[in-house]
Amino acid sequence: MGSRWGFLIRFLGAVWLLGLGHCEQQTPETAAQRCFCQVSGYLDDCTCDVETIDKFNNYRLFPRLQRLLESDYFRYYKVNLKRPCPFWNDISQCGRRDCAVKPCQFDEVPDGIKSASYKYSEEANNLSEECEQAEQLGAVDESLSEETQKAVLQWTKHDDSSDNFCEADDIQSPDAEYVDLLLNPERYTGYKGPDAWKIWNVIYEENCFKPQTIKRPLNPLASSQGKSKENTFYSWLEGLCVEKRAFYRLISGLHASINVHLSARYLLQDTWLEKKWGHNITEFQQRFDGILTEGEGPRRLKNLYFLYLIELKALSKVVPFFERPDFQLFTGNKVQDAENKMLLLEVLHEIKSFPLHFDENSFFAGDKKEANKLKEEFRLHFRNISRIMDCVGCFKCRLWGKLQTQGLGTALKILFSEKLIANMPESGPSFEFHLTRQEIVSLFNAFGRISTSVKELENFRNLLQNIH
């Protein structure tokens, strides 16, 4: 246990030392340079450069990944949007129509997904009909075979284990509903102001290992002009160990990715005739322009690339799990399920072929006790962040926040489970390492959001080049 946690913690820490390039200030700068000049060129301490990532994602991976996410298996996500906020009671629910989420009617969800939302393999899906009468996920039908009872209990026990980084929804709850992600896309909803800022403020203030003496402005777009370097928000990072700085970069990268989505799918026109969604250049500049954000915007984009590389690495590590012959993307349509598994493996093999993956073998595990302590801190902080998503007042924002935090949590679970994945049996149930359907759907959709962000950065570069 200790060695695998130690390796990844050192791996994340070493990646923090990367910079995504630095450009000398040019006068005058174009709008594109002010947002992107520091996110180009080679990464420090490795052979990877941003242009290689852009080319790989935008022209090789993105089209296939989007086609996979449009399939039935990945488009339906079960979520409980009615869970109460565990931290405060004064939640102002967004009353805007664009904040609403339209759940699926029961007959709209493929039968195979409804009957097998817990497990994924052919064996487990065959057993699902026998288990369907159980009142809850962990219940064991006495009529089941001894081997089946053991499998259900092992899976349930593992789902409650300390390897999980998220507090997942109880998908058996009457309040949990299927949502078609394609019909409820992540985009600008108008949810903003103190209620929205409060969510990210709590995440940064209380869950990113930040000293209490350093305060972040409630409004993330607020200016810090006139403050000394010692009082700026980022100065505290220099005093943290590299592992804790890496944790911050993951959260910042997720925040940046979400902001890119909202800027790229902004409500530009709303009339009784039509709604027009598109790229809002002004909104993008407010969040990422180097001058308007006093240097913070380009840091956010750097952290987005950092997050991309971490999740890319996790997907490359979990390939053996999906290559097992008894794994399938079960929806009930055998022909479509077989085609989608082939597409899934194509995507994963494409990811594995990325030429500039980090060589984690060059990082050595630290002290076992220290590594386990840091791992537990990572897990508890991230679980807390997953719980904060139930405090988001906009239901569509809550949906995508919950999905993307669960996806990142699943990626961390994979990276910390390298040896368990390597020791999986070639067939049959894997008791030491498994992924539920919820984890699989959130993992790929969350990475799909980050991949979309990288693709959208190319679009914004092109749009900003025409602004002087």
Q: How far apart are CA 387 and CA 390, in angstroms?
A: 6
Is 189 annotated in some ligand binding site?
A: yes
Is 213 annotated in some ligand binding site?
A: no
Identity of residue 74: F
Q: How far apart are CA 391 and CA 91, in angstroms?
A: 7
94 in catalytic set: no
Strand-pair partners of 79: 177
Active-site residue (options: 48, 99, 104, 397):
397
Burial of 212 (0-12, 13-18, 19+ CB in 10 A): exposed
Closest CA to 264 of 458, 58, 62, 102: 458
Is 437 annotated in some ligand binding site?
A: no
User: Which pairs from 54-60 meet CB under 8 Å and 24+ separation?
Assistant: 54/454, 54/457, 54/458, 56/354, 57/308, 57/451, 57/454, 57/455, 58/454, 58/455, 58/458, 60/350
Identity of residue 245: R
Is 282 annotated in some ligand binding site?
A: no
| Beta-carbon-side half-sphere exposure of residue 137 (alpha carbons within 13 Å) | 18
Is 357 annotated in some ligand binding site?
A: no
Q: Encoding tokens for residue 352? A: 């594995």
391 in catalytic set: no
SS3 (DSSP) at 179:
strand
Active-site residue (options: 37, 94, 131, 394):
394
Is 67 annotated in some ligand binding site?
A: no
Binding-site annotation, residues: 187, 189, 200, 252, 255, 287
Binding-site annotation, residues for FAD: 187, 189, 200, 252, 255, 287
Which residues are identified as catalytic?
Answer: 394, 397
